[in-house]
Structure 1
Amino acid sequence: MDATELRSALYGLEIFAGLTGEQLDWLVSVSEPRVLGDGDVLFRDGEEATGFHVLLSGGLVVTKVVDGREEVLTRHSTQEGGAVAEEHDGKPSAAHRFTGELPLLTEGSYVATAAASGPATTVVAYPKPVFFEMLTRCHGVAAVLLPVLAWRIKSSEVQARKRATVEALGTLAAGLAHELNNPAAAVARAAQELEPALERLTGTAYAWGAAATGAERSVLDRLAGELDKLPPPGTTDPLAQADAEEEIAEWAGAAGAEHPGLLGSGAADLGLDPDWLPARLEEVGDTALPAALDHLAALLEARSLAAELRAAGPRISQLVAATRDYANLDRAPEQRFAVTDGLENTLVVLRSKLAGITIVRAYDPDLPDLTGYPGELNQVWTNLVDNAAEAMEGAGVLTLRARAEGVCMVVEIADTGRGIPEDVLPRIFEPFYTTKDVGKGTGLGLHLSYRIVTQRHHGSIAARSRPGETRMVVRLPLAPAAAEH
């Protein structure tokens, strides 16, 4: 099988169907195809897990010796009917086409034996490091893999010695499937818009370079430096932001800019007043000013998209890493970090869901750093902000507070939504408890947040609610807890 045939075969699989051409090219370059004869063993029960395997043709039978008897746990087949008809109820179709992910995620050994079924079985192997890189590079893979992982966990009751790990991964897989939607969507949108944005930036750079004098270029360089140092706006009022955007765009259009709307939206997103840019561009002449404004607009657009990718990309990597950490909670190293960084990243990732909502930041100055697991706390902030946005249904005020209080850091996320009913409030942190419509919630988001805050960080999380005001209060100790024995 040559590279072209392999590329076509991989693209035809559900798990890789959403990949870009560049991602597919990378996947082909790291693939290790292997042809198995009937009965050839792919991996054995108890062996150290070394790779993730994708089935291209033929079939695999997965067996395990239980109480001295070899039992068939499942069959994977590329053929319609046949082995498929013999399968357990509810098996996802994608589950037939890959195997080996569970022991890799738990950093354990294979828990069964897989052997070829039929004379022409072709599999593609991806070594352990490549598998984890695949999850980070190819974000759509996790969306297919996680439901299959959850199904396999649920149907693995025969693996008694793995039960605790299986249940933990089952909980995490369902929660991650929900949480990955936000950063994955942010990455997809930003990546789609980045190419034309970079083309605009290149074009405006040439035009600005040709139109500007040396002194005028220095003015724009200083302005760009100021923009880099701007703090996030303390309050985001959608109406005030829209007025500022319109006023800046009108000024840019009158000055001759080709893309005044782009400049208006970029400047307003940074919280700039309408007079901020004109005051700093007074030394740019009328001839060069249109080129300066268009180049600045393209620069702000590219920086905004890059910020989204910086915030969402690591979040996906952290969520994937959390799948392994969840199975063995003592392995992830603690870090020193600023809690406001995670809150700000969450606002970037959920920006589309927060459209129309006023955002108020109330961070105390000189907040101390925390010691803990910032990637896991980001899951908490995502859950709480996402729930607040849903409760407000596109209109209201979201307030983020952070302050030191005694020996704790207190983070409050408050919204002006419909509130949580009094009879529901005591149960919101229970696993699988949800008041959302069928298919719109797993009932695991707040439970997972509770575990992260209380078990991982030895803190507390509480909810206070009445119609028109809900506050989620998270308390985290400033000093790490003593190691448990």
Structure 2
Amino acid sequence: MTAPAPVRGERLRGIELFTDLTDAQLEWLTAVTEERVLADGDTLFHDGDEATHFYVLLDDELLVTKTVDGREELLTRHRARADAGWEHDGKPPAAHRFTGELALLTDGAYVATAVAAGRTTVAAYPKQVFLDMLVRCPGVARVLLPVLAWRIASSEAQARGRATVTAMGTLAAGLAHELNNPAAAVARAARQLGPATDRLAAAARRWGAAAVTREAEALDRLAVEIGRTPPIAETDPVASADLEDEVLAWAERQGVAQPVGLACAMAERGLGTGWLSVRLRGLCPGVLPGALEYLSALLDVRTLTGELRTAGPRISALVAAARDYANLGRAPQGRFSVVDGIEATLAMLRPKLAGVRVVREYAPDLPEASGHPTELNQVWTNLIDNAVDAMAGAGTLTVRTGRQGTCLTVEIGDTGCGIPADALTRIFEPFYTTKDVGKGMGLGLHLAYRIVTQRHHGSLTARSAPGDTWFTVRIPAPTRKDLE
């Protein structure tokens, strides 16, 4: 970057930002303007740097980028000579010619990185000069403010799109993780069920040919009794394995070729060989191996079909949770259960909550809310995800619902590091973030705030101390007229 140099007034007059200046205003502006020349690839400012200058693009291009989740994203390109129709995102032509105003007006840091594309020339104005410019040259403000409004709206739209993509990624990852176990159970059961039913059919033929009616009825009663005996509530893996080995060895001594199904079913219910022997006393010794073979095959098939019965509803429940989370219904607005939305969000975030203790404190008989469930699900996702990050993946997350006066309330608390007092008053501002550069755009809480306050006419507040942070969402409860 070359040393500052003066800029001639007629050159500034050709920029839309300065077109309406009087000769006196232009003379003052020319006196305070510093020209800077950047070589291709030079950085004008970095994301997170303290904002010190307002820049006007005189020649060539600036690339505006931001690192989000480890990836550098191109936000926009500023061109000194943008061709008509070159932009397709509604960018005002004047927006090409200046940058840095937002950070100066908010007394913050630059929210992106600006890099020269080619030999680029800019006019630089220190912060105080920029503020004086707005006062002394009202025409500048008339051009700058609409561009500033467009930039904020555009950034929010990008953040909403990114939030949607992130939410869908979270949804897909969570759904894939949660579907893994039941899907594996279905695949395993389907693979094993064919051979198991063949074995059951063969054992049933042998048993039917060997047993008399009394013996067949006795074995049927035994099979029913085993089926009705529930699994033990608390299992000791070592004791369960010992019991399974005991039944397996006993059945093999009786001449059973494949006693695994019998041994597993007995051990799962805490039943040993003594219990089984008492119920088999009515069978003749000659038919005992066939009876046990048939019983083992029958229990094996029942176990596999039981796994299918359990896995099927689990998969259905996960798909329903995904549907509720994404709100795939036709109507984007309507009455809905706040708790159902929270539960759908927790289901989708379960992999991230693996090391977190979740405490649910749901008020009974909470009425349905009215509004946009998809958008509120984004709020729950943002607040819960931030809470888990604050706890570094380990701690206690508390989700509480209730009713206060005319409002439904949702409180989300965590035992994380807390929010500094000086940051607590600014966390809902656009582009403000307490995370490291590249970890976020500072729009997540701002978008949540807008969804709650503007779309649902409610409020979103926060209070925090180390180990005790709470976000409280209040939305109007439906009136009797709403419910009619």
User: Normalization by structure 2: what TM-score?
Assistant: 0.49
TM-score normalised over the length of structure 1 = 0.49
Rg (Cα) greater in structure: 2
